[in-house]
Amino acid sequence: MVKMEKENWHALELDEVFESLETDRQGISDEEAERRLEVYGPNELREEEGRKWYHLLWEQFTSILVVILILSAIVSAYIARIEGEPMTDTYVILIIVVLNAILGFVQEFRAEQAVEALKAMVSPHVLVLRKGREEDIDSKELVPGDIVLLEAGSRVPADARLIEAANLEIDEAALTGESRPVSKRLGVSEKDASLGDRKNMVFMGTVVTNGRAIAVVTQTGMNSQFGRIAGMVQAIEVEEPPLRQKMEKMGRQLAQISVILTIFVFFVLWFVHERTLQEVFMTSVSLAVSAIPEGLPAVLTITLALGTARMAKQNAIVRRLASVETLGSTTVICSDKTGTLTRNEMTVTRLNVKDRTVEISGAGYAPSGEFTEDDEKIDPLEDKDLELLLRIGALNNDAHLQENNGSWICFGDPTEGALVTSAAKAGLKKSELEEKYPRVGEIPFDSTRKRMTTIHRTPEGKLFAYVKGAPEILLDLSRKIVDDGVREINEEDLREKQSEMKSMAADALRVLGMAYRELPDDYDLENLETEELERELVFVGMQGMIDPAREEVPEAIRVAQLAGIRPVMVTGDHRITAVAIAQQIGILEEETQESVLEGYEIEAMTDEELDSTIEHVRVCARVSPEHKMRIANSLRRRGHIVAMTGDGVNDAPALKAADIGVAMGIKGTDVTKEASDMILEDDNFATIVRAIEGGREIYTNVTKYIRLMLAANFDEFIEITVTALLGLPVPFLPIHVLWVNLVTDGLPAVALSIDPPDPDLMRYPPRDPKEDILRRFWRFLLFAALVDFISDFIPFFYVYLTTLTNTGNPELAAATARTVAFTSIVFFEFILAYQCRSETKHIFQLGWEGVTANKMLFVSVLVGLALQLMILYVPFLNEVFHVVPLTRFQLGLCVLGSFTALLIIPQRLIPKRVYVEH
């Protein structure tokens, strides 16, 4: 029976593969295929039973705060009914609940689609050989041992070992992240070869870009490489975002306090003061409603939505609202190198010809830059050997550059694009060179030969072979060297060139050598032979190139480190290249054994060994996607909040395992985007840092309006409790509490959600994601609530006594005192909103600029004041809110009491965050 669990199909001889799969070049029979289909199942990515849409929808209503809101709506409806009033409050609360549910459902439903994106990459049909007969079948019916026929444009339907291949090139970007098509060939690969190095294998989901092939299927469905990725994605359990956990915890705490005190007050009123059941019920309901910030879920959703909109303008697309807050807690950023930390544009920065070393400025493919030698500007065209070096690089080349809206794009191999650019910087345009030196023959690049040769005819009619490739190989093939003419190459020349190669390699430069050979005029261009053509060369020089760091990255690294965030480079590149770039951009100061980790070392480590090492690591080189997932898990076990970048399909598990999975918008696949929490539209590391700053800003603003809302809730709670215990009329009716919670606090809260950020925001260390909001702010909340209580209760009690004495009407006295308490808390909250703008400064320290900096807050306070005055002096609204018009003296008491909010000093009541020391 076929052994599907084999992992070394690439390392077996072809005969062994056929034997293990019990097949041959003609393929299996239809009957055998049916039997195997029953054993191994269809060739598809099976999805574990996920949460149904109605489960996701139901979960939106199970949050403790939402449950309390629903109960509040029911109670509000009951009170409105028995008092014969419109159910406005009920409708408002229910609208908030429904909007919350819709937003949450849409976000989570989208988050469930990662495996669906993988499925979309599987070919629907495939051409197979069954006992020598071609058949077009549904790819789901494919089984191990089937022989598949592939041609340009085909999507590979399953993992398979090549039997025949003609000029076969496969786009494996979806699987390995390799941006260029990979040449495939027959033969046996090393047993420990990485996925990208298994040249004799093709994999499900990849695309044939050139040539044709015949292959035998080795693994299908969930046993394929794509299947393994799908299985890993499904197996990862995604934890609740920290913000949601905090809101749930806070909701439970408030609910517990509310239930205990409501029951206590109920018994005091019923048994001690012997109030009527309706009075007791109304007071208890007011007390219960006062403990819950009804407007919080709505304002929270609005804040996160506005935050994601702001981030989108900065090229960071946040896919899950709750992830916005998690971003602000990030402690480690694991970033790819190519395209994220670097430009993904190869750039020639150094030339070597004769004994001269020339530096070239400029980055990317823009044909602008200066040539300098010993810090002095030079004209490379004044030296014929330098000109020849640049000319060979441009002509022995299949790439070309094109300007598009002010930016230059390379069409073709990025390495060749760099050579075209270096020549263009000297004024040697490729199009003009090709007219002057037309190509009349070529031997394409070959990974075995490690070189490419083109033949050109000069204006004088002479033939020259231009060769570019690995410099050590070209030196072996060279008999002569340019040196203001041409002379025999000697041992000293070889030592000098080898020394220069090492110097370039130490600076992470990729080095290409250039050489030429003059050919006879009658050279046979129809039958080019490699060995005969590429001999007795004249070595010209070398061009060293690098994928340079993005200009903004070093500053972004500095900002991240200042904020207590550790950037870690995670790349498939070689150690020497990774270290050089890491040192250039500031990730790594000094290379040590502890600071750099390679893939083979991770492979040999247990989880415990990796955990003990990971804290010191700054660079991970030659790593696979599986290593990336282990790195993310190790950091999380150490208590870190991890942001991980990725672009290939096999990065999806690592992205899902991280706290914040960051997909690339330009080179990322649909699968990684679906598995991610955030997408970078510009693939830029600096965008991640800006997004983290945005996450911190949003969380800080969330805590501002939580302080505002809970201060009012605590005051209402205390005041209702105290007046109940003293046997006084209830100071707030349920409609008053709901008005304060939803409108009076809601308007400034929305304004606070877009409050300008603290300029020192990125100088604080990441906050603890498990931080208890109530515990951190309890002193502020308690003090603010007590001050608010005093500023409300004194006018309330005074007005109640004086009105009762003057009129002898207890109902009028209660209504007037209640109106004063209601108005006092509204005015108090407006001033407190400004106090909540800062954790470290008093409103007087903020000054006039602090008052006017948030224009939205200023407008919201004015609107709130206008609405409150309308409630007091518009007869219709008097009846709806059960208030009476206040005299100027009574209104003055409310205004005077509200200014007690200025007594609250945030910096003495809120624990300070310490700056990160550097």
Torsion over CA: 190, 195, 199, 203 (sign): positive
CB atoms within 10 A of CB 80: 17
Question: What is the spatial distance between Cα 817 and Cα 735, in angstroms, rounded to a whole number?
Answer: 16
Cβ-contact 852, 858 below 8 angstroms: yes
Host H or E run for residue 167:
strand 159-171
- For the CA atoms of 175, 176, 179, 182, the dihedral, rounded to the nearest 10 degrees, stands at -90
Residue in 205, 208, 201 with CA at minimum distance from that of residue 153: 208
Residue 399, C-beta contacts closer than 8 angstroms, at least 6 positions apart: 410, 411, 412, 413, 414, 416, 417, 419, 420
Helix 64-82 / helix 242-267 crossing angle, nearest 10 deg: 40
Using DSSP bridges, classify how beta strands 486-488 and 478-482 pair: parallel, antiparallel or unpaired: antiparallel
User: Cα dist. 670→203, 663, 703 in Å?
Assistant: 18, 9, 35
Report d(CA 564, CA 81) in Å as an integer.
Answer: 56
Q: How far apart are CA 20 and CA 867, in angstroms?
A: 81
How far apart CA 475 and CA 464 sit, in angstroms, is 18
Q: How many residues are there in the chain?
A: 918
Give the sheet arrangement for strand 642-646, strand by strand: 316-318, 678-680, 660-664, 642-646, 332-335, 566-570, 619-621, 596-598
Catalytic residues: 336
Return the exposure string of 229-248: e unless at least 16 CB atoms fall within 10 Å of the residue's CB, then b.
bbbbbbebeeeebbbbebbe
Two tokens, residue 26: 């003609």
In 3-state terms, what secondary structure has residue 698?
helix
Determine how many CB atoms are found less than 10 A away from the CB of residue 781.
Answer: 22
3-class SS of residue 662: strand
Give the 3-state secondary structure of residue 408: strand
Token pair belonging to 446: 């070959």
Task: Name the phi and psi angles at 143, rounded to 5.
Answer: -135, 160
Beta bridge partners of 182: 170
Taking alpha carbons only, the member of 122, 154, 120 closest to residue 139 is 122
The answer to whether 26 and 146 have CB atoms below 8 angstroms apart is no
Element (H, E) at 823: helix 810-835
CA–CA distance from 650 to each of 153, 159, 177, 760, 826 (Å)? 22, 15, 8, 38, 55
Q: Which helix (H) or strand (E) holds 320?
A: none
Nearest 5°: the CA angle 840, 842, 848 is 120
Structure tokens at 250: 């806070």
d(CA 367, CA 425): 5
Question: Three-state SS string across 473-512, please?
Answer: HHHHHEEEEECCCEEECCHHHHHHHHHHHHHHHHCCCEEE
Token pair in block for residue 242? 């920290």
Q: Which residues contact 56 (CB under 8 A, 6 or more apart)?
A: 105, 108, 109, 112
